């Protein structure tokens, strides 16, 4: 499919792409760069990849497809390091959870001969690092593809085929639409989960041990969401701040409405609130989006 794929950043997502692309023979060569020496050693020691280099220029040289699987906040530095080493027509894609800001950054480099085509595989686990990756991570998961304005149509097809080869379902979407939808389906639930856990468990609280012991009543599964990679989430909340603040404001007014109903012991209003969400669940089940096991968009390992 490709002659040389270069993967920049080889944590959970990057190393899963590496494993999946190797398994599915997506490319003759796969070269990997990660700024962490531990990651590089791990990939070599475990024989997951032979071509791990600590020189980012040599890794991207002659690549047909460059995949950035690093935190959003590292994009600028990465592009500064690779821009002069891209020596042929190539496709650059990424795996970031926010698209509009990343697109601005990348377009700013005005790279010639490059098709910039953003990707966002909606997949992950609560673990981080290359040891947590596995080839099946993307199977049956959505990957949203957002082509930059100068991306060649054929290259968009190639990126789509690549994700499908490693098991994903794909959907093409604009950067803006992606960021708005993800602010609702993923960023809002995560923001809220962090605050639920912080509110329920205070380190000095006299009930702390009991709260942990009886956490199966709902709280436990919020701690699962609220334990993902802090750097990744910081970058998401900064890059998608406008959409996230908008939905958090809407959340706050819904919560205030509920608090008012509780204070006033307004039985009808509470029933109305608790009933209103049942239909949405029915639609999710109808849309085939339900699984037997809730997993917060994270595959079990």
Query: 203 to 232, contacts with its own copies by CB under 8 A?
Result: 207, 210-228, 230-231
CB atoms within 10 A of CB 124: 24
Q: Which of 61, 132, 142, 165 binds its own copies (CB under 8 A)?
A: 142
Site membership for its own copies, residue 149 (CB under 8 A): no
| Minimum distance, C-beta of residue 185 to its own copies, in the bound complex (Å) | 5
Neighbours of 140 (CB within 10 A): 11
Distance, in Å, from the CA atom of 88 to the CA atom of 64, rounded to the nearest integer, reads: 8
Residue 75 in contact with its own copies, rule: CB under 8 A: no
Q: Closest approach of Cβ 146 to its own copies, in Å?
A: 13
Q: Which residue's CB is nearer to its own copies, number 45 or number 279?
A: 279
Which region among 4-12, 60-68, 107-115, 141-149 touches its own copies (by CB under 8 A)? 141-149
> Residue 1 burial by CB count (10 A; 0-12/13-18/19+): exposed, middle or buried?
middle
Task: State how beta strands 169-172 and 114-121 pair.
Answer: unpaired
Near its own copies by CB under 8 A: residue from 32, 93, 177, 204: 177
Range 115-134, binding its own copies (CB under 8 A): 122
Map the footprint of its own copies across residues 13-72, applying CB under 8 A: none
Among 45, 153, 199, 204, the residue binding its own copies under the rule CB under 8 A is 199
* Residue 247 found at the interface with its own copies (CB under 8 A): yes
CB–CB of 59/29 below 8 Å? no
- C-alpha 177/C-alpha 100 separation (Å) is 9
| Alpha helical stretches, state H, 139-225 | 153-165, 175-182, 188-200, 208-213, 219-225
- Nearer to its own copies by C-beta: 1 or 200? 200
Quick check: 145 binds its own copies (CB under 8 A)? no
Yes or no: say if 4 and 64 are a contact pair by the CB < 8 Å rule: yes
């Amino acid at each position: 499919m490709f002659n040389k794929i270069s993967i920049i950043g080889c944590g959970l997502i990057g190393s899963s792409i590496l494993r999946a692309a190797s398994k599915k023979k997506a490319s003759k060569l796969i070269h990997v760069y990660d700024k962490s020496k531990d990651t590089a050693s791990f990939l070599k020691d475990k024989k997951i990849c032979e071509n791990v280099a600590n020189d980012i220029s040599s890794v991207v040289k002659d690549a047909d497809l460059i995949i950035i699987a690093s935190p959003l906040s590292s994009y600028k530095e990465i592009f500064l390091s690779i821009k002069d080493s891209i020596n042929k027509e190539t496709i650059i894609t990424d795996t970031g959870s926010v698209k509009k800001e990343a697109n601005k950054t990348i377009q700013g480099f005005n790279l010639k001969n490059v098709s910039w085509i953003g990707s966002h595989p909606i997949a992950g686990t609560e673990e981080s690092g290359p040891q947590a990756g596995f080839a099946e991570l993307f199977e049956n998961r959505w990957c949203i593809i957002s082509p930059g304005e100068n991306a060649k149509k054929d290259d968009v097809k190639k990126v789509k085929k690549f994700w499908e080869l490693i098991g994903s379902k794909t959907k093409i979407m604009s950067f803006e639409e992606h960021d708005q939808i993800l602010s609702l389906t993923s960023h809002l639930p995560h923001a809220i989960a962090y605050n639920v856990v912080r509110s329920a468990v205070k380190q000095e609280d006299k009930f702390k041990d009991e709260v942990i012991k009886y956490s199966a009543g709902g709280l436990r599964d919020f701690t699962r969401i609220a334990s993902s990679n802090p750097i990744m989430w910081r970058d998401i909340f900064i890059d998608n701040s406008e959409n996230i603040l908008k939905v958090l404001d809407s959340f706050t007014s819904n919560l205030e409405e509920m608090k008012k109903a509780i204070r006033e012991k307004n039985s009808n209003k509470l029933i109305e609130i608790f009933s209103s969400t049942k239909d949405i669940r029915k639609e999710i089940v109808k849309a085939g989006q339900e699984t037997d096991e809730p997993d917060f968009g994270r595959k079990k390992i």
